[in-house]
Each structure stands twice: as structure tokens, then as C-alpha cells.
Copies of this chain bind each other. A is one copy, B any other.
């Protein structure tokens, strides 16, 4: 299998990909950004993509959510959690006391703000386009491959990048929130809804009817009436006007579950746009609470009862 992912070597995404398939058994296709990784699946260059979808600190990954929400349909097949802690690294010979300018991806910077304010209050942020880009630059500069000034002395990089790029760690486990984690998903073409495991989630994109006070409430009631809980709901602007939102939703359960199917049929009937983005096992393996009257058996019995009612055989 060919996996597109946000490369190059050393990224958190690569760490996620390693949980999914080892480099020995899969072809790793590093991409420059999340959108490219997703497009690689759409255009057939890759079979699957591994992309970040949500982080504890930043919330939903905008590019992933937006890229999946429209365009040729893709589905999520699996999720993987990766702890997010950084290493502050520099070229060999640089000491922590020498550091004035730190290159970091803006998301990385945000996740280490308090640590930096406390330990290195005077450093300046030099934005990077990825978590590993400054590591590669540090390596090339150390090798004398760069002309001109590098513009920074150290970088916040994923732990795996230290070895990959031959850097020296100045500080490890850098993170304001030691429980910080990023959720990655494996994205593929439709056709393979993984079978229910009993601990699944279903991801959807839903637009609300325009100009309807209470439309969000009505949408949530589609789930509540069927006893389906939501584990994530995020709004994204639709982009055409202020005040118009798309909702990205994770519902507990699998589309093969009757209650989930009925709830999303309710969305399909009432909302102008619903996209199914997959049913797949939860990384935390937590099974949903099945409320009274919402098991598959309850649905089957109710359907049989209505059929009997229609045939004049109900008792």
C-alpha cells in the first residue's frame, strides 16, 4: 500500500503512519502539506493518506477538515493518537544560552508558549512551514550547504527529527500541556466501510438550513431522539458569507448501527448538505452507552411491529 502523508521524515505524521504500517511493508509518500496528501489519494498517486485532524491545543485541523468536506468523496478508515511533545534542537555546538531566535511551525509555537515564556522569555519566533523544515535547514547550514543567513539558532521539532537530521537536543518533552495529543486519520477512497467493532465513531459534515433560528438545535435533536451521543462538534465557516457554518461531527457508533443510520437519515432529510466521512474504530476503544430502546434489536422489533400494524396484525 502507498501512504501519502505530511513529510518529510521525522514529522509527527510519520510517527502516526508508523503506527499504521511499518516502512517495510508499505510505501511512504511524503507530501508538502495536508491538502497534497489528501489529493494524492483522490488522484490515485496514493492508496491512503495519513493526516492530522484534531489536536488538543489547536482544535480541528482546518486544512484537513476543509479538504475532506468537499471535493471528490473520501472516507476515514482508522484513527491514531500521537502524543505531542517537542524537542528544542540545534546544530551541534549550540548551547541553550545561545538561542535567540527559534524556528517553529505556528502550531508548535502555540503549544509551547508558556514553556518558552518561562524558560526563554526573550526569544523571537521565526515561523516555519512545517515541524521538520527548520531541522532540515539546520542540517544543511551545518553542512555548509546554505548561502546567506539562516535566521534562527534552534528549532522546536518532533522528537524523531533529532536523529533524522543529526541535531543536538537542547530540551526535551517541551509542551505546555503534557497530555497534549494529536489525532490522525487514515483517509481512503469510499468502498471499504470497516465493519463495526462495538467501539466506533462516525464522522460527518453537515450544513444547516439557512436563516433558520433553531436549526442547530434541530440538528442535535436528530441525534438525541435516537440516543446517539456526539464526541466532537466543530463549526467551520462555509466561506461564502459571515454567519454560515458547516459542522464537522463525530457521532458515537457505526453507520451499520440502526440508531446511527436513522439519525443521519434525519440529517439527510432536513439539511441541505450532509457528507458521510466514514465509520471506523475509536482509538480509545470506548464503547458507547446504548440507551434504553436504541439497540439494533429494538429497531428491528419496532420495524417488525410497524409492518404488522400496516398488515392489520399488530397486537
A interface residues (Cβ-Cβ under 8 A, vs B): 54-59, 62, 73, 75, 81, 106, 125, 127, 129, 147-149, 177, 179, 181, 183, 190-193, 209, 213-214, 216-217, 220-222, 224-226, 229-237, 239-243, 245, 255-256, 261-262, 264-266, 268-271, 276, 289, 292-294, 298-299, 301-303, 305-306, 309-315
In the complex, besides A56-B242, A213-B224, 6 extra interface pairs with C-beta distance below 8 angstroms are A54-B237, A58-B237, A59-B235, A106-B106, A213-B289, A261-B306
Q: Are A268 and B302 in contact (CB under 8 A)?
A: yes
Chain B residues closer than 8 Å to A149, beta-carbon distance? 147-148
Q: Are A306 and B268 in contact (CB under 8 A)?
A: yes
Q: Are A181 and B242 in contact (CB under 8 A)?
A: yes
Q: Tell me the nearest residue of chain B to A303, going by C-beta.
A: B265
Q: Tell me the nearest residue of chain B to A62, going by C-beta.
A: B58
> What is the CA–CA distance of A294 and B271 in the complex, to the nearest angstrom?
11
Chain B residues closer than 8 Å to A231, beta-carbon distance? 243
Q: Tell me the nearest residue of chain B to A111, going by C-beta.
A: B239
Chain B residues closer than 8 Å to A59, beta-carbon distance? 62, 235-237
> What is the CA–CA distance of A261 and B314 in the complex, to the nearest angstrom?
13
Q: Are A276 and B309 in contact (CB under 8 A)?
A: yes
> What is the CA–CA distance of A217 and B219 in the complex, to the nearest angstrom?
10
> What is the CA–CA distance of A55 and B217 in the complex, to the nearest angstrom?
24
Chain B residues closer than 8 Å to A298, beta-carbon distance? 269
